[in-house]
Structure 1
Amino acid sequence: MKKNFSTIRWILLAAGIVAILGLTGMNVYSLYALRNQSIDSQKENKKLQVAEFADKARNRFRTPFNGLLSKDIEKLEETYRQTGQFTPEVFTILQNAASDSIYEGIYFIPANTTNCQNIDLFQKYDATSNRLIMAPGKNDIICDGMGMARTRMRVLMEEYNYNNKIIFDTHRSMTIALVNLKDDSVFGYLTMPTNMEYLISSYLQPTLDQKFGTEQNSGITVWLRDWTKEKIIASSDPSTSYDRQKVQFTQKFPDLFDDWYLAVAFTTDPMIAASNKTLFKNLIVLGAAFFLLLGALIFMFITAQRERELAERQAGFLANVTHELKTPLAVMQAAGENLADGRVDNKERLKAYGNHIHSESIRLRKMIEKLLDVAKADTNQSLIELQPVHLNTQLQKYIEEHAEFIKEKGFTLETSISDDVDIVMIDTDSFETIIGNLMENAIKYSGDEKYIGISLEQKGSKVELRVKDRGLGIPKKSMKHIFEKFYRAEDVLTANTKGHGLGLSIVKNLVEQNGGEISVRSEENKGSCFTIRFPVAHESDIEEYYLSNPVEPDKLTQDSSEYVG
């Protein structure tokens, strides 16, 4: 049953971890999806801006001729045949268009012109006189524009329902075919050569600058490129060199600039940078929450495990101590009954019974004292009275009192106690308990070689006490638990020895209450070495003690010669 509960706990822990990982993964995915959606939205918005720029460029050519659609081309043709000029309404439109610097001029070629390249003089609109006059022109640009328009209109005329059609010869010119809808024929062609310097320097470049700005401000770089000449005509950020590898999409101009296109590269947009920053912050918060939840879950699991182990050790301790208390009581009770009934009258047997009762009562007293020490430690009621002490003298006194007992147990005791150690402030009763418990453990867990080594020396500002044995040693897995209450190393130590798991817990508690520290080195089947370090007493502490606890001069000189000498 116990094993089943342990398995269930591990399964629940694993399920909890999987749930946390799953939820965290879903949140991370959602954050990245939201961030990518935001970036894609920003890119689509930029693409729309580029498309708007291309449309705006086309409309820049068309706008000056707004209103031509509503004019009567049949009337215009009739007026031209009669006077060689256009109607006043059309001249008004041409006058407005002629003022636009994007055109180098407005030329008219009748539809019945057969060989444009042989013409020396073209009819050109003169804004000053508001009339058509004969003037020289660029034959190749004007005639090419008219030729393209004528070819295009041959295809469109059968189903064309508008009185004009705008046709571009790439970036060179714009031609308007004037259509007489009554007889489905083209009356003539208005051709406007493009002012290239104005188009690039005064329109396209400033418009790119205004709409997109620098790469740092907009997160986008737009190049206007002539693919036939592999040349960059204009750029939204002249400081950024064109690189084919950077281009992420291209945009053509609708119906014009066939040799040109817009090449676009996305860089770090401020909005995208803000999205990345927000994502980073959210990931930090999510990561912190993940580790907090995972840590809390593992902490609760470990705490529950420890509580269970402690409860098991307490239960084992209660069973053990009950047995240990009952044993001496039963022995003393049996011996007392025999003595009370008068069954024993032999002196030697009387003495044996008395010794038996005495030893069992001492054993019982020690167990009760340990229990009281633990209870005091748990409630912080230990009465610690610090006083100036020469540890070498105190330790030598303990060894002399217990040397016979140690010898009777068959142990070899090796000591190395330095006379040159400073005074420490400790409680003498605590020291007796500390050294007593360490000696008891050394004896209890001895192996075949019955050896105990005790050394005392000063190292800097610490007085160091070592108790060493060559016994069973402590398993590595148990080292971190040996100072816990009720803990006993399994299998190796508990199998053949009696104990309650209290001794080392009491030792550590008393050492720390006396301002010291304890450590241990151990190796299985080779023994253990416990090291205790107490700080050297300050003169002010010694002086304060004797001021509050006056003693006779002879005793002061004897016990504290280093202080008063």
Structure 2
Amino acid sequence: MSFMKFPELHEDLDILKFYNLIGRYNPNELLNMINEFNPTIDTLVVLSKFLKAESRDKSSVSYEKANEYFENFYRNSLVFKKIIDNALDLNKLESCCFTLSLSNINLVSSVKNVVDSFENAIRSKKVSLEFINYMDKSFVACDEEKLQNIVFNLIYNSVKYTNKNDKIIISIKEKDNKIYICVEDTGVGIPSDELPKVFNKFFQGSISISEMDKGMGAGLFIVNKFVKILDGKIYIYSKPNKGTKIMIELPFFLLEKPCKKLVAI
């Protein structure tokens, strides 16, 4: 193998950036990050081993069953990628500005795709998940990647801090030229004295389902930053043992053509 061909093996350098990034965190922050990775990685490993074993005997599994396993693998891969994206986004948010890629997106479809990626997590925790669309119009100008990152982190938090038989409701609506995305759950909730701190970087609340549920504490920090970058607002309501409701307000408008916008952080 020649030296000049080596970069071709790394068409996507995100993982290399990730390795450089984790060196900036202290051991406790890294441990929290690893705790977030482990469940998804374990699932991907199990699915990979099963698919590898089944591929040796083409008659041993039906098309429907194989499709189900591949779908599970795909969904868990999406979750894993989003967690890595969070770590990478933390690095980007330390800069003085951020570039938005704005275009007219199908808001309903975009949010629904994120909701669907949690199907496996919801099933395993035996939590109910409901998506409600109150939108008359589906399209809105936004940075779809940032929007989906916001929705992912909000649902991820709800899933993490809910118990068996709890409920999570995601709703979207348009009112007075504003878009409202709401994620509400009946989980463990947040004490009132901690609410002002939940958007702080690496904040860890006092209430947790278990030690393994503790993550980086970066999700809501990233959500808050991205909401501001998108010229929006965020509202949070919560009570211990009652649940949490987080509502995102974004401007509703359409573009004549896609564009990029440099935003100061």
Q: TM-score, normalization: structure 1?
A: 0.34
Q: How many Å apart are 1:380 and its aligned residue?
A: 4.4
Q: How many Å apart are 1:483 and its aligned residue?
A: 0.8
Letter in 2 for 1:347: A
Do structure 1's residue 455 and structure 2's residue 171 form an aligned pair?
yes
Q: How many Å apart are 1:328 and its aligned residue?
A: 8.1
Do structure 1's residue 442 and structure 2's residue 158 form an aligned pair?
yes
SS at match of 2:237: strand
Structure 2 match to 1:512: 228
Q: 2:31 aligns with which of 308, 316, 319?
A: 319
In 2, are the aligned partners of 1:386 and 1:514 still within 8 Å (CA)?
Answer: no
Residue 323 and residue 384 in structure 1: after superposition, are their counterparts in 2 closer, same or farther (change >3 A)? same
In 2, are the aligned partners of 1:421 and 1:457 still within 8 Å (CA)?
Answer: no
Q: 1:411 aligns with which of 109, 127, 151?
A: 127
Alignment of 1:54-453 (within 5 A): 316-321=28-33, 347-348=53-54, 365-380=81-96, 382-399=98-115, 401-402=116-117, 404-405=119-120, 408-409=123-124, 410-421=126-137, 423-453=139-169
SS at match of 2:117: helix
In 1, are the aligned partners of 2:78 and 2:117 still within 8 Å (CA)?
Answer: no
Q: How many Å apart are 1:391 and its aligned residue?
A: 2.2
Q: Deviations over 1:227-257 (max 9, x none)?
A: xxxxxxxxxxxxxxxxxxxxxxxxxxxxxxx
SS at match of 2:100: coil
SS at match of 1:453: strand
SS at match of 1:507: helix
In 1, are the aligned partners of 2:146 and 2:226 still within 8 Å (CA)?
Answer: yes
In 2, are the aligned partners of 1:387 and 1:425 still within 8 Å (CA)?
Answer: yes
Q: 1:500 aligns with which of 216, 220, 227?
A: 216
In 2, are the aligned partners of 1:421 and 1:463 still within 8 Å (CA)?
Answer: no
Structure 1 match to 2:61: none
Question: Sequence identity of aligned pairs in percent?
Answer: 25
Alignment of 1:479-490 (within 5 A): 479-490=195-206
Letter in 1 for 2:171: S
Mapped to 1, the partners of 2:35 and 2:119 lie a distance apart of 29
Mapped to 2, the partners of 1:470 and 1:321 lie a distance apart of 25
Q: How many Å apart are 1:329 and its aligned residue?
A: 8.1
Q: How many Å apart are 1:319 and its aligned residue?
A: 3.5
Q: Deviations over 1:133-178 (max 9, x none)?
A: xxxxxxxxxxxxxxxxxxxxxxxxxxxxxxxxxxxxxxxxxxxxxx
Q: How many Å apart are 1:510 and its aligned residue?
A: 1.2
Q: Deviations over 1:303-327 (max 9, x none)?
A: xxxxxxxxxx955213333566689
Q: Deviations over 1:355-401 (max 9, x none)?
A: 999898766544322110111111246442112234234324444x4
Structure 2 match to 1:473: 189
More helix by share: 1
In 1, are the aligned partners of 2:188 and 2:207 still within 8 Å (CA)?
Answer: no
Mapped to 2, the partners of 1:520 and 1:394 lie a distance apart of 22
SS at match of 1:534: strand
Q: Deviations over 1:480-539 (max 9, x none)?
A: 1111111010244564513110111111111111111111101111111110011121x6
Q: For CA contacts below 8 A with separation 6 or more, give which structure has more relative contact order.
A: 2
Structure 1 match to 2:19: none
Do structure 1's residue 464 and structure 2's residue 180 form an aligned pair?
yes
Mapped to 2, the partners of 1:535 and 1:359 lie a distance apart of 30
In 2, are the aligned partners of 1:482 and 1:489 still within 8 Å (CA)?
Answer: yes
Q: How many residues are aligned here?
A: 222
Q: How many Å apart are 1:439 and its aligned residue?
A: 1.1
SS at match of 1:385: strand
SS at match of 2:236: strand
Consecutive unaligned residues of structure 1, counting only runs of 5 or more, are 1-312, 550-565
Consecutive unaligned residues of structure 2, counting only runs of 5 or more, are 1-24, 58-68, 261-265
